[in-house]
Amino acid sequence: MRTELSAADIARYQNEGFLHVPGFLTGEETVELKAAVLEAVAALGSRRISGDELAWESGEGYYDHVFTQRLNLWRLSATVKRYMLDPHLGRLVCRLAGTRGMRVWHDQALIKEPFGNPTAWHLDNPYWSFHSRQAISIWIALEDATLMNGCLWFMPGSHKLARYDNVGIGEDLAGLFKVYPDMAQIDPVPVPMKAGDCSFHNGLTAHGAGANMTRGRRIAMTCAYMPQGSTFNGTTNVLPPSYLKTLKVGDMLDNEAVNPWVAQEVSA
Ligand SMILES: O=C(O)CCC(=O)C(=O)O
Ligand SMILES: [Fe+2]
């Protein structure tokens, strides 16, 4: 795992709201993580989220054909957990986001299947149960992600224009720009990746992906991180109902079983 980024990389992330990191995982690590992800996805079957409480099944709608989406694999797979909670990664996301600590919000396998629909332009953080301008996600390519099979695209600097108004990932590719017309003035940047590359993006950066025009699978593993001290904003999202019952707006989201703390490797 590549764990060092330059000051210029960090400045670029903060300015543009995303960063491509080539060769984040070694070939061996990529093979190991991919096998663990595919095993956990298979174990879930049509259940979208691991854990006993949330029944969220995949079906045959438009969104089901954007990607095979399976959440919180860290709960199922010790290998996935080891990668997503790796202290080196913990330090990296804190340095990029400028925070002192992070918790896992959720992880997700996102597999754009052959001929899968595009991922409409969207922001992530407005879906979640906390608001933060420093939330960050990692997106790790476990197969090459290309212009042909639906690599990610980002709008540089859009995180500075974003509020917390939400727009669903639906059939309208450009629905986001009805809410944020100024974002549509930005030139989008595609980020093709080799297997083992990753990108980081701010939870308020506009991003999307094209259709998968190939007969291969675009396989990615992602994890979203919530800054230490984030508080409940009243949105349910993926919080388990038994925990949700105990929460009032403004409460700290610090339940270790739901949102585990990500340790930071101490630099020399
Ligand atoms: O994989 C995709 O197509 C979209 C990924 C995404 O929206 C995310 O990681 O936040
Ligand atoms: Fe997203």
| CA dihedral for 143, 145, 146, 147, sign (positive or negative) | positive
pLDDT in tens, 32-82: 999 999 999 999 999 999 987 777 888 889 989 999 999 999 999 999 999
Ligand 1 nearest-atom number relative to CA 207: 7
Pocket test for ligand 1, best of 19, 119, 142 (most atoms within 8 A of CB): 119
Percent of the chain whose pLDDT exceeds 90: 91
Q: What is the mean pLDDT of residues 148-168?
A: 96
**pTM beyond 0.95:** yes
| CA dihedral for 27, 265, 37, 214, sign (positive or negative) | negative
Residue 268 confidence (pLDDT): 46
Lowest mean pLDDT, pick from 3-7, 10-14, 85-89, 205-209: 3-7
Residue 54 confidence (pLDDT): 72
Output the CA 31–ligand 2 centroid distance in Å. 24
8 Å CB contact between 161 and 183: yes
Please name the residue whose Cα sits nearest to atom 1 of ligand 1. 110
Query: Does pLDDT of 267 surpass 80?
Result: no
pLDDT in tens, 38-50: 999 999 999 999 9
Pocket test for ligand 1, best of 152, 197, 204, 213 (most atoms within 8 A of CB): 152
Output the CA 147–ligand 1 centroid distance in Å. 14
Pocket test for ligand 1, best of 65, 138, 139, 197 (most atoms within 8 A of CB): 139
8 Å CB contact between 218 and 149: yes
Query: Does pLDDT of 266 surpass 80?
Result: no
8 Å CB contact between 139 and 195: no
* Pocket of ligand 1 from Cβ distances under 6 Å: 67, 110, 112, 119, 124, 137, 139, 207, 209, 220, 222
Distance CA 171, CA 168 (A): 9
Distance CA 65, CA 38 (A): 18
Ligand 1 nearest-atom number relative to CA 209: 3
Q: Minimal CA–CA distance to 35: which of 109, 86, 106, 107?
A: 109
Lowest mean pLDDT, pick from 10-19, 48-57, 96-105: 48-57
Please name the residue whose Cα sits nearest to atom 10 of ligand 1. 124
Determine phi and psi for 208, rounding to 5 degrees. -165, -170
Segments making up each domain of the chain, as ranges:
16-235
Distance CA 207, CA 17 (A): 10
Protein residues with C-beta less than 5 angstroms from the ion ligand 2 = 124
pLDDT in tens, 162-201: 999 988 888 999 999 999 999 999 999 999 999 999 999 9
Q: Is 16-235 a CATH 2.60.120.620 domain? A: yes
Per DSSP, the three-state class of 111 is strand
CB count within 10 Å of CB 70 equals 26
Q: What is the mean pLDDT of residues 221-243?
A: 96
137 alpha carbon, closest ligand = 1
Output the CA 266–ligand 1 centroid distance in Å. 30
Q: Which residues contact 266 (CB under 8 A, 6 or more apart)?
A: none
Q: What is the mean pLDDT of residues 209-224?
A: 98
CB count within 10 Å of CB 214 equals 15
Question: Average per-residue pLDDT in the chain?
Answer: 96
8 Å CB contact between 110 and 220: yes
